[in-house]
Amino acid sequence: MTASSSGERGGRSGGLVARAGDGVHEPRVLSPGHRARPVPAAGGGSRQTARVSTADDLHPEYAVSVPIPLRWPDMDAFGHVNNTAFLRFFEDARFTAFPAAGVGTGGLMSTRALLAARHEVEYRAPLLYGRHQLTIDIWATRLGSSSVDVAYQAVATDGDEQASVAAVARSRMVMVDVTSGRPQPLDDQERAQFTPHLGAPVEFRGW
C-alpha cells in the first residue's frame, strides 16, 4: 500500500527506547551488547522467524522504540486493528522520536515543517486490541539535502511476552517552508537528530 499526506509532524535522539507514562515518553538507553537486526522481506532472502522470545530481540540498535497505546476505535469489523490506523501510529512515533523537525518550543508549529511525500506499508500479521502491546521502532535510512527517508517496524507483544512484526513501512519526508510551501535544506540541528539513527532500509517482499 502506498499513501500520501500533506501535513505531518516530524523528529529526536540516539540508541533510545521512548517509554510512555501518563502521555510522556521517557528515553531509555539500550543495553551495550544490543545488536542491530535486519528487517528482511517476508518472502525470501534472510527471513525473520514469526515469533521470538521478547520484543527486545527485534529492536535494531540504531532505532528509537516508541510504545504506542492501542485504542478500541482502532479495530475494524474484521476483528483486528484497521490498516489505516498504522499511519497514525507511525506519525505518533515520528513526532516522539524526532520532534525538532517542524515543531517549536511548547509544541507550536515553526516556520518550517517536515511533510510526508510518500508512505509505503507492508502488513505482516494482525494486530489485536486487548491482546497486543505495540511498539514502533523508527530510524532514518537516507539523509538528503531537504528530505529524509524514515523506516518503521511495528512490533506486537502478547501477554506471554512473545513478539512478532505486525508491519514494516517507510516514508519520504521533505522539509518545506510553511509560507511558500517550497522545499528547504535541512539545517544542522535537524540533521543532527537523524544522524545517530541512520540504519539499514526496510526490505519489502516483491509484488
pLDDT tens profile 33-78:
333 344 544 444 333 434 444 667 788 899 999 999 999 999 999 9
- Residue 30 clears pLDDT 80, i.e. is over it: no
List all residues 6 or more positions away from 165 whose beta carbon is below 8 Å from its beta carbon.
39, 48, 58, 124, 125, 153, 154, 155, 156
HSE of 110, CA atoms in CB hemisphere, 13 A: 19
Rounded CA gap, 84 and 3, in Å?
Answer: 10
The partner residues of 26 in beta bridges, in order of sequence, read 19
The structural domains of the chain, with segments of one domain joined by +, span: 2-29+51-197
Enter the C-alpha cell of residue 75. Answer: 479495530
Which of the following CATH numbers is that of domain 2-29+51-197: 3.40.50.12280, 3.10.129.10, 3.20.20.70, 3.40.50.720?
3.10.129.10
For the record, the C-alpha cell of 156 comes out as: 506486537
Q: How does pLDDT run across 94-120, given as a tens digit for each residue? A: 989 987 665 555 656 678 888 999 999
Return the pLDDT at 117: 96
* Mean pLDDT within 184-205: 92
Specify the 3-state DSSP secondary structure of 65.
strand
Query: The cell 517550497 sits on which residue?
Result: 182
Would you call 61 helix, strand, or coil by DSSP? coil
Question: Which whole number is the average pLDDT over 3-7?
Answer: 38
Neighbours of 161 (CB within 10 A): 11
